[in-house]
Amino acid sequence: MSTLVVCVGSLAILYVAYVTYGKWLSVKLFELSDSAPVPSRALRDDADFVPTKKGVIFGHHFTSIAGTGPIVGPAIAVFWGWLPALAWVVLGAILIGGVHDMAALIISMRNRGQTIGDVAGRMISPRAKLLFMTILALALWIVLAIFGLVIANIFMMYPESVLSVWVAMPVAIAVGLWSHRRGSSLTLPSILSLLTLYAATAIGVYFLPIDLGVWFGIPKPAAGVYLNVVVVWTLLLLAYCFAASVLPVWLLLQPRDLVNSHQLFVALGLLVVGLGVASLTGSADLFAATDPISRDVPADAPPILPFLFITIACGACSGFHCLVSSGTSSKQVACESDAQLVGYGSMLLESGLAVVVIMACTAGVGMGALTKTNTPTSYAYSTNDDGAVLTGKEAWQQYYASGEQGWASHSLGKKLAAFIEGGANFLTAIGLPLKLGVGMVAVLVASFAATTLDTATRLQRYVLQELGTSIGVPTGNKYAATGAAVGVGGLIAVLAGAVPGKGGLMLWPLFGATNQLLAGLALMVATFYLWRRSKAIAVLAIPTVMMMLVPGWAMTYDLVTKWWPQQNWLLCGFGVCILLLQVWIFIEAAIVWKKAQGVLEPQLEPLTLAENS
């Protein structure tokens, strides 16, 4: 019962926050108006600027921001206990993450769809824009490298997930053509696509798991093996991302996110129902699975403060979201009032996803630890020496025990497995076969990550084009900019590191802190937006200070205590550059702060109601 009470209580708090605090932000602070002109209409080109129905853009935005971040972060952070992770996820999303996402979306919409980095040039200073755009480019290359490898590793670990993820692409193109040419209701194609993707999931689980190692004899990652399973999948994924970035947004990116959003909403709904049934029947007990605050943290683990706040990034507050808000969504929102649902609502729903992840990685895995049998897609429950199924804290230890390696034993793959297999346990409570449950949750994780990956590629194209314009380098060719985006991301992912295909994961320690620092910078720009209009700034200024100091503290701690002593010059180089760029931007902001109050930034050519009609 405890599992259901904690989960439903957390989701209820998020809903109440949306209809109260979210409404106040929308009406009182930002004064959204349905009659205001928006870029999607005034600048419509049917490629990047496309006015889009609220439900469609919500699906696109949510699936773009909710990649593996709100899954991996909480899955790692519950090692410190589920209560600190849950508190940061819920309160962080309400007070910081949702405000950040919504502010970035609105400010971009009111600045002709420019990215938040471009807007920084007028809110703060031209140098601030250049510095911000440089940090954005570095952060996005880290995202491309890491998320490509995460999906590739899921495909390797769970080959039953492959078919449904790739089938989604031609299905999305069909939905995009239907919508664009007919302009009719999306109800029928949405239902048909949902049925198709779940049929593909079942086929992948029972008949057609796509394992490149078995099919073509491609080896798993190992030292000196340059063409391994992860490398091949990563290259194929980046090739898809290139196409998704240069094609019109209505043809692939937008309908793919819509199609995936329906599939993902169904899977999340089933997880919550399964959680409820398992909790009511007593098979999922949150307190029996692990402690609210863990007492089993290894001596070499990073301290909970500040590392809890950067380990869980996307589930509470994520700087990557400001790129989605200002890079793609602001060019598609059809009227200003939709920003509350798209910006604030999507972040709170992502927080809800993180809540479910926390429950799956504690109460879910406590229902029984899984092990693969002699075939790639068959699973059985692990047993102890007496033949009894491992449940409760014993099962949790199967995924979270430190072993002789201490904190280093907590691999990314192991934490993904905790959510996938813990979530599958919830699905068995409502009668789904364990094998199918694992496949459905694995598809959910891979699909979330894939929607983030293709959106990140498009965003990096925008950033590189804007950055090139700022320094006087011609970057109007979208194919060249996209090639640079996927090319550098692929090199980081595939070539760096002793084991080809694991290079991007070397940058994983940078992801959380860089992501949160980026959120702090976006919040700073939003604070300047209010400051220049003589509005109350505390709602944004307090989160700004927190999201600059805490990640900076964490990155400095890692630099001094780990990366420098270990002579990890790659992480040291990235870390020092990002910290210096952040300090420089802070100085730029401090210089203009006092004289900026009540003084509007240089204005762009306004959008007009005539164009907006």
Summarize pLDDT for 539-565 with one digit per residue, the tens: 999 999 999 999 999 999 999 998 899
pTM: 0.91
The Cα–Cα gap between 64 and 32 comes to 24
Count of domains forming the chain: 1
Summarize pLDDT for 19-35 with one digit per residue, the tens: 999 999 999 999 999 99
Q: Given pLDDT bands bounded at 50, 70 and 90, which one contains residue 496?
A: low
The Cα–Cα gap between 548 and 422 comes to 34
The Cα–Cα gap between 183 and 459 comes to 27
- The CATH number assigned to the domain holding 25 equals 1.20.1740.10
Beta pairing, strands 370-372 & 379-381:
antiparallel
Residue type, 448: F
Compare 178 and 105 and report the one with higher pLDDT.
Answer: 105
- 294-328: buried (b, 16+ CB within 10 Å) or exposed (e) per residue? bebbeeebbebebbbbbbbbbbbbbbbbbbbbbbb
Question: What percent of the chain lies above the pLDDT cut of 70?
Answer: 93
Summarize pLDDT for 268-321 with one digit per residue, the tens: 899 999 999 999 999 999 999 999 998 777 777 889 999 999 989 889 999 989
What is the residue range of 343's domain?
2-612
Position 1 scores a pLDDT of 64
Matching residue, tokens 């805490």: 550
Q: What is the mean pLDDT of residues 414-418?
A: 86
Cα distances (Å, whole numbers) of residue 10 to 91, 116, 317, 354, 362: 10, 31, 17, 11, 16
